[in-house]
């Protein structure tokens, strides 16, 4: 199994005063407005590369955790995942410094220790984590509601 996905941006103007429109080839969303101000100040209804990375990380982690729990015989009833990606000043300019994953899950037939192991494995195994690893600090806060 392999997949190739495409997104494009049309940008007009300078970095500080310009803006762009991001389009996903799938047309699942967009076009999405993007600007330097939305990246470094307030979003004001526009997106940023960091928000898009957070979206990719949250959805990838959710899929990896769902798969791992299901394979272990404890499929989740629900997973509520949030990813927060931080852009920070660094030596030589800006860098994406961290991605924080937070998950609250409802899972039957699992204890907290088993869930924590599954969540940590999903954090390590999801392809987006793999792409970020070594460049971005990835942290996880995992909570399970036992039923």
What pLDDT does 92 receive?
87
What are the tokens at 59? 């959805």
What pLDDT does 29 receive?
84
The predicted-structure confidence for 78-116, as pLDDT tens digits, reads as follows 999 999 999 999 888 999 999 999 999 999 999 999 999
What pLDDT does 2 receive?
83
What pLDDT does 88 receive?
94
Instruction: Average the pLDDT over 44-53 and give the result.
Output: 93
Go through the domains of the chain in sequence order and give each one's CATH number: 7-40 (no CATH), 49-146 (3.30.300.20)
What are the tokens at 49? 């590369």
One DSSP character per residue, 53-92 reads HHHHHHHHHHHHHHHHHHHTT--EEEEEEEEEEEEEEETT
CA distance 55 to 51: 6
Instruction: Average the pLDDT over 5-14 and give the result.
Output: 94
Could you tell me if 138 and 99 are in contact, meaning their C-beta atoms sit under 8 angstroms apart? yes
Instruction: Average the pLDDT over 36-54 and give the result.
Output: 92
Question: Scanning the structure block, which residue is given the tokens 């957070």?
Answer: 54
Taking alpha carbons only, the member of 32, 1, 6 closest to residue 19 is 32
CA distance 29 to 41: 23
- Helix pair 112-125, 49-71: axis angle to 10 deg: 130
- Give the DSSP H or E segment for 19: strand 19-24
């Amino acid at each position: 199994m392999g997949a190739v996905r495409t997104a494009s941006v049309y940008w007009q103007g300078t970095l500080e005063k310009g803006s762009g429109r991001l389009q996903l080839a799938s047309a699942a969303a967009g076009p999405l407005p993007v600007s330097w101000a939305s990246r470094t100040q307030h979003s004001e209804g526009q997106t940023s590369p960091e928000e898009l990375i957070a979206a990719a990380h949250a959805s990838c982690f959710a899929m990896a955790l769902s798969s791992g729990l299901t394979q272990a015989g404890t499929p989740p009833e629900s997973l509520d995942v949030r990813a927060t990606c931080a852009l920070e000043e660094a030596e030589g300019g800006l860098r994406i410094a961290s991605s924080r994953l937070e998950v609250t899950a409802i899972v039957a037939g699992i204890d907290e220790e088993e869930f924590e192991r599954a969540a940590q494995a999903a954090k390590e195994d999801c392809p987006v984590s793999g792409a970020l690893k070594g460049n971005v600090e990835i942290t996880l806060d995992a909570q399970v509601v036992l039923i």
